[in-house]
């Protein structure tokens, strides 16, 4: 399993995206979400949503369907 970056989002949006992907059977992880809270800059530091490289195309398609 090799993780690849799906995108960078604000903290809340990243967690919503992770939940949405997992509900569709796509494993996803939010990186850096906790680091930004410690110094009070959680609005400034984007959170990376990571998925398995084999799931990247399906995850992108899911995000695009949501934005359409």
Position 48 scores a pLDDT of: 94
∠ CA 52-66-63, rounded to 5°: 20
Three-state SS for 32?
A: coil
Position 46 scores a pLDDT of: 86
- Domain covering 3-67, topology: Alpha-Beta Plaits (3.30.70)
pLDDT at position 13 over 60: yes
**Residue 19 and residue 66 in contact, taking contact as beta carbons nearer than 8 Å:** no
46 secondary structure, DSSP code: P
pLDDT at position 43 over 70: no
Q: pTM value?
A: 0.83
Position 61 scores a pLDDT of: 95
Average pLDDT, the chain: 87
Compute the average pLDDT of residues 12-27. 95
């Amino acid at each position: 399993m090799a993780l690849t970056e799906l995108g960078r989002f604000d903290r809340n949006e990243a967690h919503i995206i992770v939940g949405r992907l997992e509900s569709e059977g796509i494993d996803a992880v939010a990186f850096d979400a906790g680091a930004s809270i410690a110094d009070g800059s959680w609005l400034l530091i984007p959170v990376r949503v990571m998925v398995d490289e084999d799931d990247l195309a399906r995850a992108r398609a899911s995000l695009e369907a949501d934005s359409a």
